[in-house]
Amino acid sequence: MAHNTDVKADASAPPVTRILAEFVAMHPSRGWSDDVDAEARRTFQNWLGCAIGAARHPTAEAALAAVAELEPPPQATVLGRSERVDIANAAFVNGVMSHTFDFDDTHLKTIIHPAGPVASAALAVAERAGSSGRELVDAVVLGIDVACRVGNAIYPEHYDRGWHITGSTGMLGAAAACARLLRLSKEQTVMALGIAASQPIGVREQFGTMTKPFHPGAAARAGLMSALLARHGYTASMRALEAPRGLMQTYSTKCAWNEIDDALGRRFEISFNTYKPFACGIVIHPSIDGCSQLAAAHRLTADDIERIDLVVHPLVLELTGKRSPRTGLEAKFSVYHACAAGILFGRAGEAEFADALVTRPDVMALRDRVHATIDPAIDEAAADVTIACRDGRRLHLRVEHALGSLERPMSNADLARKFHGLVDPILGDARASALIEACGDLGAAADVRVLTSLARA
Amino acid sequence: MAHNTDVKADASAPPVTRILAEFVAMHPSRGWSDDVDAEARRTFQNWLGCAIGAARHPTAEAALAAVAELEPPPQATVLGRSERVDIANAAFVNGVMSHTFDFDDTHLKTIIHPAGPVASAALAVAERAGSSGRELVDAVVLGIDVACRVGNAIYPEHYDRGWHITGSTGMLGAAAACARLLRLSKEQTVMALGIAASQPIGVREQFGTMTKPFHPGAAARAGLMSALLARHGYTASMRALEAPRGLMQTYSTKCAWNEIDDALGRRFEISFNTYKPFACGIVIHPSIDGCSQLAAAHRLTADDIERIDLVVHPLVLELTGKRSPRTGLEAKFSVYHACAAGILFGRAGEAEFADALVTRPDVMALRDRVHATIDPAIDEAAADVTIACRDGRRLHLRVEHALGSLERPMSNADLARKFHGLVDPILGDARASALIEACGDLGAAADVRVLTSLARA
């Protein structure tokens, strides 16, 4: 992850977004000369004529045929809810939700979160088509391969420049997955990827707002629509990704073309996918992991513990050094809260960062007994944890790679525990268990709708 | 229009789009190890849990509320057709159609085609809301101002790098227009622009394919959805445009911030909008204009004409030197056909580039009498036309600025003639006339649906 610090950034820009927004919201109606107003009507009339004139053109027919596939709207499941919407909107909303907690998955070579755009688009198309589970799994593997290979070719320059790489490669993965599920020909698939290449989503400035999870959702939708358009004969450049004014050279100065077909069909990028065990920034995962492991191994309760000492990389306190968080969001930036939660609850999922929990007296009391020291010599991936017990024991663990890293992947049991933590509050424990089973058997399912019907509220 | 030739371009890139498409379309089902397949199911299950877990989060509620505004779908007119679709799809399809002939409008300072994204989004929202014509005109003026001001700040670097600036600024104009029509507050409008800032559309490699007109359509849709999301409390960065990792610095190295508020509210960019009189590349407009003017002034028929001599800038023959076009598309790259059509029909709209017309004997015969000579000293905007008549007259005209330029704007009569050429074949002459009248009176219309009902087939 060598980053290019040369990418220029001007932090002194005026508040352009606000200036334009205030102008749009506040400028008086017809607050301009008659000439301007006349030009507006001429512009409108000219636009209207151009649009009507093309109403029977093959371009219009293809666009309308793709749009017609979205009707009638109750087509696909919104996960965890009772609403059903058209497949494009299902892909969008499911993609948004899957990244809302920033708790999903990471292709560590590119920090792409690949399932958000790819699985969200694929499941919607598969549900509508009644695809088999095998077809869905195939589409997810291939779609993730496409997004991550493009990511490999442009990372890190593209990310450093400001793109949220999950959304700016995800529409290609989503298009690929949907093309596969719709059984598009090679030629149509070129077009699907080509149309998607005009729709990269997301800049990093949005981090911390709802528009961050918007990115995988919008990418899922864009990829899905690209595949539908291609199915109906809509055309794009056959070199939309690689041409001099194609996507990759337009949005990245690094284009390592060899990454596209290096061991293509032999090495699959999904093999490098990882899953977050803790619903917070990855930098404090080793500390949480160490605390949880010691507490579990020695069956510690809060009362057993005198003091917890962490030795960590300087970044940990720089990013997550908040001593006294008051809300769940603040707690995600507190190594103290996170470690206390790991010990008390044996996990640090989204629920353990709830507002109410952060201010619970027992949580606050244990949090205050956590102490952290920095050591520049310790690796970012590591943490050194010592728990001093009231009975005089000193328990020590050095975590070299946290749970959830490629070196120490989450086990299926870990993933099931995480799944229950997320799904039980929404659909109940029994449905969560049934869904885990359905995912495990997905490759054998005759129709993915057995799964989507379980995933609806 | 000084362009930066330093923007790097690697024309030797391998056929990445095709390589990936063939892999997606052809790789055998489950053509990988058991480990890869297991990882796919783990990826899917982890994604599913994250999505379900967020099903009641405010982010999901806001996204769903925006999507719910698209139901039930018969909401807005597809221009020139009988279908009615939801407002997002209407914005999309109308935006695609308006740019299909590449015959719409041009903000010459940035070569943005501003009405495509802005008017397409605005009309759909206005129709659904039953807005007044005044509100629609206001929204179009303000939306175009936003898109073109951002364009002014980043042009030409951004365009030279490969972005199709119509789609990559158009979503901001569309968001602004829709925010205005939906009467969003200042704060909500900041969010609408912010959400739109994550969705730039379009790269220039798509020119010559259906994905070029896709760009204004997709930008219209993206802007409209951004406004709907903002209306329902969806959040984005308040500095999404200008921050170091915001849109403008991410996709352009030129960011002339002063362009954003230079005479804001006093100078309106729509004043610099121009309309194409001829349905072909702008480089041959001076020649067509000269021929048409001479033929009209002297009431020439083909039989009167011995020979036509053009003296033109070298680019004219480089780009449009096709001597014997066989199709309408080829004819758009033939200054010979275009001038013959201008003389024979008094216009060179989309109909004059129809396949059947290009091979009509009288058109071909006149075309063969057109001769062009290059002169590097002549301006790109100019052409020198001499017509030698059979009766011995030599008629000469030097065009310094063609019809449709800022210096010689199309008159309202010119625009009406263009409108009839486009609309009569689709909706008939009477409806076209009624629409022209409705556009002229737009500012006074109590409800824009008087106009949309006329625009439906």
Q: Which of B93, B423, B425 sits opposite A67 (nearest CB)?
A: B93
Residues with Cβ < 8 Å from A360, sequence gap 6 or more? none
Q: Which helix (H) or strand (E) holds B206?
A: none
Chain A: residue nearest B139 by CA? Answer: A24
**Phi, psi (rounded to 5 degrees) for A278:** -125, 140
Residue B285 has a pLDDT of 95
CATH number of this structure's domain B282-399, picked from the four choices 3.40.50.720, 1.10.540.10, 3.30.1330.120, 3.90.420.10: 3.30.1330.120
Residue A10 has a pLDDT of 86
Q: Inter-chain contact A249–B13, Cβ cutoff 8 Å? A: yes
Q: Which residues of B touch A193 (CB under 8 A)?
A: 17, 20-21, 24
- Burial class of residue A136, CB neighbours in 10 A (0-12, 13-18, 19+): buried
Q: Which residues of A touch B138 (CB under 8 A)?
A: 29-30
pLDDT tens-digit profile, chain B (457 residues): 344 445 667 889 999 999 999 999 999 999 999 999 999 999 999 999 999 999 999 999 999 999 999 998 889 999 999 999 999 999 999 999 999 999 999 998 999 999 999 999 999 999 999 999 999 999 999 999 999 999 999 999 999 999 999 999 999 999 999 999 999 999 999 999 999 999 999 999 999 899 999 999 999 999 999 999 999 999 999 999 999 999 999 999 999 999 999 999 999 999 999 999 999 988 999 999 999 999 999 999 999 999 999 999 998 998 899 999 999 888 988 999 999 999 999 999 999 999 999 999 999 999 999 999 999 999 989 999 999 999 999 999 999 999 999 999 999 999 999 999 999 999 999 999 999 999 999 999 999 999 999 999 9
% chain A with pLDDT above 90: 93
Chain B: residue nearest A83 by CA? Answer: B64
* Domain A68-276 in this protein, CATH class: mainly alpha
Residues with Cβ < 8 Å from A388, sequence gap 6 or more? A305, A306, A307, A308, A309, A394
Residue B142 has a pLDDT of 98
Residue A6 has a pLDDT of 52
Q: Which residues of A touch B9 (CB under 8 A)?
A: 244-245, 249
Reference A145, options A246, A233, A260; nearest CA is: A260
Indicate the residue type of A99.
H
Q: Inter-chain contact B60–A186, Cβ cutoff 8 Å? A: no
Q: DSSP labels for B15-71?
A: -HHHHHHHHHHHSPTT-S-HHHHHHHHHHHHHHHHHHHHTTTSHHHHHHHHHHHTT-
Measure the CA–CA gap between A324 and A237, rounded to whole angstroms: 55
Task: Report in angstroms the alpha-carbon separations of B299 from B348, B370, B397.
Answer: 17, 18, 15
Residue B6 has a pLDDT of 52
Which DSSP symbol is given to B409? Answer: P
Q: Inter-chain contact B210–A235, Cβ cutoff 8 Å? A: yes
Q: Which residues of A touch B245 (CB under 8 A)?
A: 9, 162, 203-205
Measure the CA–CA gap between B175 and B88, rounded to whole angstroms: 12
Q: Which two tokens stand for residue B123?
A: 């009309």
Residue A287 has a pLDDT of 97
Q: Kind of pairing, strands A305-312 and A370-374?
A: parallel
pLDDT band at A2 (very low <50, low <70, confident <90, very high): very low
Helices B133-154 and B115-129 meet at what angle, rounded to 10?
150
Q: Which of B18, B47, B195 to mutate to test the interface with A (most CBs of A within 10 A)?
A: B47
- pLDDT for A334 beyond 80: yes
Q: Which of B19, B53, B435 sits opposite A423 (nearest CB)?
A: B53
Residue A7 has a pLDDT of 60
Q: Which residues of B touch A245 (CB under 8 A)?
A: 9, 162, 203-205
Which DSSP symbol is given to A163? Answer: B
Q: Which of A60, A115, A193 sits opposite B21 (nearest CB)?
A: A193
Predicted confidence (pLDDT) per residue in A374-413, tens digit: 999 999 899 999 999 999 999 999 999 999 999 999 999 9
Measure the CA–CA gap between A169 and A172, rounded to whole angstroms: 6
The answer to whether the beta carbons of residues B47 and A455 sit under 8 Å apart is no
Q: What is the 3-state secondary structure (H, E, C) of B40-53?
A: HHHHHHHHHHHHHH
Largest CA distance in chain B: 86
Q: Which of A3, A7, A16 to mutate to test the interface with B (most CBs of B within 10 A)?
A: A16
Q: Which of B8, B16, B229, B353 to mutate to test the interface with A (most CBs of A within 10 A)?
A: B16
The answer to whether the beta carbons of residues A143 and A118 sit under 8 Å apart is yes
Residue A11 has a pLDDT of 87
Q: Inter-chain contact A442–B11, Cβ cutoff 8 Å? A: no
The answer to whether the beta carbons of residues B272 and B233 sit under 8 Å apart is no
Q: Kind of pairing, strands A76-77 and A84-85?
A: antiparallel
Chain A: residue nearest B351 by CA? Answer: A53
Dihedral class, residue B284 (left if φ above 0, else alpha if ψ from -120 to 50, else beta): alpha
Q: Kind of pairing, strands A394-399 and A84-85?
A: unpaired
Q: Which of B78, B134, B211 sits opposite A236 (nearest CB)?
A: B211
The answer to whether the beta carbons of residues B40 and B33 sit under 8 Å apart is no
Q: What's the count of helices (H) and strands (E) in chain A, helices before strands?
A: 21, 8
Q: Which residues of A touch B78 (CB under 8 A)?
A: 55, 64
Measure the CA–CA gap between A349 and B210, rounded to whole angstroms: 46
Q: Which of A36, A41, A203 sits opposite B250 (nearest CB)?
A: A203
- pLDDT for A235 beyond 90: yes
Q: What predicted TM-score, i.e. pTM, was given to this entire model?
A: 0.95
Q: Which of B40, B195, B261 sits opposite A19 (nearest CB)?
A: B261
Chain B: residue nearest A239 by CA? Answer: B17
Q: Which residues of B touch A149 (CB under 8 A)?
A: 20
Place of tokens 């869905």: A136
Q: Which of A164, A198, A439 to mutate to test the interface with B (most CBs of B within 10 A)?
A: A198
CA distance B437 to chain A (A): 10
Measure the CA–CA gap between B420 and B413, rounded to whole angstroms: 11
CA distance A311 to chain B (A): 31
Q: Which of A100, A195, A206 sits opposite B60 (nearest CB)?
A: A100
**Phi, psi (rounded to 5 degrees) for B104:** -90, -110
Distance, CA of B6 to chain centre: 27
Reference B44, options A317, A100, A439; nearest CA is: A439
Average pLDDT for A196-214: 96
CA atoms within 13 A on the CB side of A210: 23
Residue B1 has a pLDDT of 38
Q: Which residues of B touch A113 (CB under 8 A)?
A: none
Chain B: residue nearest A250 by CA? Answer: B162
pLDDT band at A371 (very low <50, low <70, confident <90, very high): very high
Q: What's the count of helices (H) and strands (E) in chain B, helices before strands?
A: 21, 8
What are the residue boundaries of the structural domains of chain B, listed by start? 68-277, 282-399, 418-452
Q: Which residues of B touch A182 (CB under 8 A)?
A: none
Q: Which of B163, B184, B194 sits opposite A250 (nearest CB)?
A: B163
Q: Inter-chain contact A53–B425, Cβ cutoff 8 Å? A: yes
The answer to whether the beta carbons of residues B49 and A201 sit under 8 Å apart is no
The answer to whether the beta carbons of residues B45 and B392 sit under 8 Å apart is no
CA distance A56 to chain B (A): 8
The answer to whether the beta carbons of residues A378 and A313 sit under 8 Å apart is yes
Please provide the distance, in angstroms rounded to a whole number, between the alpha carbons at the two ends of chain B: 41
CA distance A308 to chain B (A): 31
Task: Report in angstroms the alpha-carbon separations of B189 from A18, A366, B304.
Answer: 8, 44, 61
Q: Which residues of B touch A180 (CB under 8 A)?
A: 24-25
Q: DSSP labels for A12-73?
A: T---HHHHHHHHHHHSPTT-S-HHHHHHHHHHHHHHHHHHHHTTTSHHHHHHHHHHHTT-SS
Q: Which residues of A touch B186 (CB under 8 A)?
A: 18, 21-22, 25-26
The answer to whether the beta carbons of residues A284 and B52 sit under 8 Å apart is no
Reference A139, options B20, B36, B32, B29; nearest CA is: B29
Residue B98 has a pLDDT of 98
Q: Which of B116, B222, B249 sits opposite A162 (nearest CB)?
A: B249
The fold of the B68-277 domain, in CATH, is: 2-methylcitrate dehydratase PrpD (1.10.4100)
In total, the C-beta contacts within 8 angstroms joining chain A to chain B are 632
Residues with Cβ < 8 Å from B99, sequence gap 6 or more? A50, B113, B116, B166, B212, B213, B215, B216, B217
Q: Inter-chain contact A59–B203, Cβ cutoff 8 Å? A: no
